């Protein structure tokens, strides 16, 4: 059973969440978990100007995803930062290249799930995940979120990401807030939950 974690990360917050998602998925026996990044679309000079280039070097060792790889996965967990309440342009560009897979029905019946990051507490985490689901539904995927059996999303003693739609984190206006232990726990739970459901389907 193959689980893919496919994401885009600018400053590293989504990458940190992706690592936790992969950790959770690996807890399920028989799961082969692969981490992949989607291609960058911004030129290097722009990345350097906005302070992203150096940050991305920390996870530059993660291979770039080829669209064709998706067809071999039993479950795909996508991670994207939020841009104005929607997925980032890099992820949108990558998904727009999956038309050939759609034409062949290559992703029909596979498990799909989404996690995200925003700069602010109410920066569009839920709308990003829900609008992402539209693409997965067009591909015929089976959508899995983050159920309330992960009790960390009901706590109110701290500001935290996480909703029934998927795990999330808050990066802060200056991108200086990193995923809390509760947010990472939600990501691990989601990875494990997706892998459990994929395992049942795989059997």
Annotated binding residues for NAD(+), written as ranges, equal 11
Annotated binding residues, written as ranges, equal 9-14, 82-84, 102, 138
Long-range residue pairs from 147-152, CB within 8 A, at least 24 positions apart, any chain: 147/193, 150/185, 150/186, 150/189, 150/190, 150/193, 152/182, 152/185, 152/186, 152/189
CA distance 114 to 54: 26
Annotated binding residues for substrate, written as ranges, equal 102
Instruction: Give, in order, the Cα–Cα distances in Å from 114 to each of 50, 73, 150.
Output: 26, 15, 16
Annotated binding residues for FMN, written as ranges, equal 9-14, 82-84, 138
- Classify residue 182 as exposed, middle or buried by CB count within 10 Å of its CB (0-12, 13-18, 19+): buried
């Amino acid at each position: 059973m193959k689980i893919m974690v496919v994401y885009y990360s600018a400053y590293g917050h989504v990458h940190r969440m992706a690592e936790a998602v992969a950790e959770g998925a690996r807890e399920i026996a028989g799961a082969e978990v692969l981490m992949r990044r989607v291609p960058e679309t911004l030129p290097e000079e722009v990345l350097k100007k906005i302070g992203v280039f150096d940050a991305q070097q920390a996870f530059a060792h993660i291979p770039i995803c080829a669209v064709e790889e998706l067809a071999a996965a039993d479950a795909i967990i996508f991670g994207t930062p939020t841009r104005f309440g929607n997925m980032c342009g890099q992820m949108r560009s990558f998904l727009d290249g999956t038309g050939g897979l759609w034409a062949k029905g290559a992703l029909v019946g596979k498990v799909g799930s989404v996690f995200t990051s925003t700069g602010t507490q109410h920066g569009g985490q839920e709308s990003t995940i829900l609008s992402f689901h539209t693409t997965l539904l067009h591909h015929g995927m089976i959508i899995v979120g983050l159920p309330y059996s992960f009790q960390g999303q009901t706590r109110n003693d701290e500001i935290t990401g996480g909703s029934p739609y998927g795990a999330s984190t808050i990066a802060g206006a200056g991108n200086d807030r990193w995923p809390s232990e509760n947010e990472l726990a939600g990501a691990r739970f989601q990875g494990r939950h997706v892998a459990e459901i994929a395992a049942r389907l795989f059997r």
